[in-house]
Amino acid sequence: MTKLDRNDRLVRLGLLMIALSAISVLAIITIFIFEQGTPIMFKYGFRSFLLGRDWYPSEKSFGLLPMIVGSLLVTFGALMIGVPLGLASAIFLTEFSHRRLSRILKPVIELLAGIPSVVYGFIGLMFLVPFIRERFGGPGLSVLAASIILGIMILPTVISISIDAIRAVPDSYREGSIALGATKWQTVRLVVLPAARSGIIAGIILGMGRAIGETMAVIMVAGNAADIPGSILAPVRTLTSNIALEMAYASGEHREALFATGVILFIIIMILNTMANVTSTRQRKK
Amino acid sequence: MEAEKIRESVLARRPSAHMTRMTAVLVFILFSTILLFPACRQGRSGHSLVVAGSTSIQPFADKWAEVFMEKRPDLVVDVQGGGSSAGIQAVKTGAAQIGMSSRELKEDEQDLFQVEVARDGLAIIVHPDNPLNNLTIEQVKSIFVGEITSWETLNGQKKLITVVVREEGSGTRGAFQELVMGKSRITKKAIVQDSNGTVREIVSRDPNAIGFISLGLVNDQVKALALNGVPPSEEAILSKEYRLVRPFLFLTKEAPTGLAKEFIDFVLSPEIQELVHKEGLIPVRREQGSRV
């Protein structure tokens, strides 16, 4: 019996090791980014990175503020477009559409997630950018273009997680509400959505994560000017684009500054995720 | 009791025996790969030439090396990027036998032996529908600094200029900075793209755009402007009348010998210089190698 016990423990240990290895990869990446990126931040001062407005790495000027603002703006814009659309689609597919229709539409929407981001970027560059340039002015490569493309890219995440959350609301809630005389729309708005709230917020958080981390499509349609945009029609550069755009030829302090960009991106994502998690758990408690 | 004991021992032993064998095999594979790797590299390094440096030259050098290796299948020419400065450094330290630089050598780098293998020009490009044909270098500079923001004073159209540039660190941007901007900064409002191709693509689609790309990559999608009245023709580049030209240099620590000399001579041969011409670069005459 003791030998069997020992085997059991061995297996458990083995599985634990495998589980830890996944986490240790994350730890190694974190350590590597910080190890590469922080020395230069200490050298030139944390403030000059966070608040500097000039990004001229060849002149030792490493202000990341335009990129920080850019990332936040573009992510916010993507949520403004993706969340209402995604939520509306999820409500329609679960509450109002024919079962058969939603059985066709849901996999189609999930297929959207499988399209490579470079294809989104290409379509954006070919159709959206000229459209914006001709209709609204400016170069077309803009905050608006990036927000629209990212808003579409986060749709599958927002929709499919919201659908699961709404489906998880027990039918007895709906029946109770309708028995009280509420219309279908009142039921959805006042009963189903509040009950599914935490799941929907989780979907939005995941969508936000995708938007802030997306690189290729953004590089193609955002214009990448390292300046705080004056309007939504002005070009913008995000933190991720900054790294991908310049990594190829960067060396020395320029390269370290790109790792510092990674450090700041890391911190921002941590802050956003924690904020989102805290608000969603708080709301669940209410 | 007996049966249980047997089962226990079977359960306990079999996987472990199996695992030992697996581990042994794994360790063997691991060690043999570790041992094989340096062996592979050593076998090749006797006949190999490392050419490293400017990423502007790299794609061309890759092609030259390919042709060279077709003729001499026993040799390996390894072309690496890294940038002009990295290439110069690599020659100095001996990490590469030939360095590639797409800029003139600085004063403290003049101890290297240099051969110009081709010349590359920068073209200032605009949309083909733009009525403008000529700018002075001063005007180009003012546009890219961000002082001139409207086409009005240049071609009469009341449109804002869309400035398109390459990213920090790229050789093309470096050449533009050096040849046009001097110490001035390129405007922060400029749109930044990470390849000559995308700069050309954007300029070809935006009637208000202006950008710069390698002369060899100009096609009929865009219009290359004349500078100070001199169009970027081959003669004007050779005579240095057209000012936005940079050399493609091959660098060696000493006067080239052996394999390095063979490769440089090959690149300067009529066959490759014709290829250079076809690829949009400007070929050079043969007698140009010199220590400066």
pLDDT reported for residue B292:
35
Mutate: best of A249, A254, A258, A261, partner B, most B CBs <10 A: A249
- Cβ within 8 Å of residue A138, ≥6 positions away: A132, A231, A233, A234, B160
Query: Which DSSP letter does residue A90 get?
Result: H
Compute the nearest-CA separation of A250 from chain B (Å). 6
pLDDT reported for residue A133:
92
pLDDT reported for residue B172:
83
Comparing A86-95, A183-192, A244-253, which segment has the lowest mean pLDDT? A244-253
**All structural domains of chain B:** 48-119+247-283 (3.40.190.10), 121-238 (3.40.190.10)
Compute the nearest-CA separation of B38 from chain A (Å). 27
Rounded to whole angstroms, what are the CA distances from B266 to B97, B117, B269, B271, B272? 15, 10, 5, 8, 7
| Closest in A129, A234, A245 to B194, CB measured | A245
Cβ atoms of B230 and B148 within 8 Å: the answer is: no
Q: Determine, for residues B167 and A4 on separate chains, whether the beta-carbon distance falls below 8 Å.
A: no
Residues of B in contact with A62 (CB under 8 A): none
Residues of A in contact with B211 (CB under 8 A): none
pLDDT reported for residue B287:
47
Rounded to whole angstroms, what are the CA distances from A32 to A5, A38, A40, A207, B144? 39, 10, 14, 26, 37
- Cβ within 8 Å of residue A198, ≥6 positions away: A165, A280, A281, A283, A284
Rounded to whole angstroms, what are the CA distances from B119 to A211, B80, B216, B285? 43, 20, 10, 11
Residues of A in contact with B151 (CB under 8 A): none
pLDDT reported for residue A89:
93
Q: Is the pTM of this model over 0.80?
A: no
Q: Determine, for residues A139 and B171 on separate chains, whether the beta-carbon distance falls below 8 Å.
A: no
A284 pLDDT band, cuts 50/70/90, is low
Comparing A149-158, A200-209, B169-178, B189-198, which segment has the lowest mean pLDDT? B169-178
pLDDT reported for residue A13:
92
A76 pLDDT band, cuts 50/70/90, is very high
**A254 pLDDT exceeds 70?**
yes
Cβ atoms of B69 and B76 within 8 Å: the answer is: yes
pLDDT reported for residue B182:
86
pLDDT reported for residue B120:
80
Structure confidence by residue, pLDDT tens digits, A168-180: 999 999 999 999 9
Complex ipTM: 0.84
Structure tokens at A62: 């490493």
Q: Over pLDDT 70: what percentage of chain A?
A: 98
Residues of A with CB under 8 A from a CB of B: 3-4, 6-7, 54-59, 66, 125, 129-130, 133, 138-141, 219, 223-227, 234-235, 237, 244-246, 248-251, 254
Structure tokens at A254: 């320029």
Structure confidence by residue, pLDDT tens digits, A139-148: 999 999 999 9
Average pLDDT over residues A233-257: 89
> How high is the mean pLDDT of chain A?
90
Q: Determine, for residues A7 and B209 on separate chains, whether the beta-carbon distance falls below 8 Å.
A: no
Q: Which residues of chain B have pLDDT under 70?
A: 1-46, 280, 285-292
Mutate: best of B178, B191, B208, partner A, most A CBs <10 A: B191
Compute the nearest-CA separation of B191 from chain A (Å). 5
Structure confidence by residue, pLDDT tens digits, A30-75: 999 999 999 999 999 888 889 999 999 888 889 999 999 999 999 9
- Cβ within 8 Å of residue A204, ≥6 positions away: A79, A83, A158, A276
What CATH architecture does domain A51-285 belong to?
Orthogonal Bundle (1.10)
Cβ atoms of B179 and B122 within 8 Å: the answer is: yes
Residues of A in contact with B202 (CB under 8 A): 141
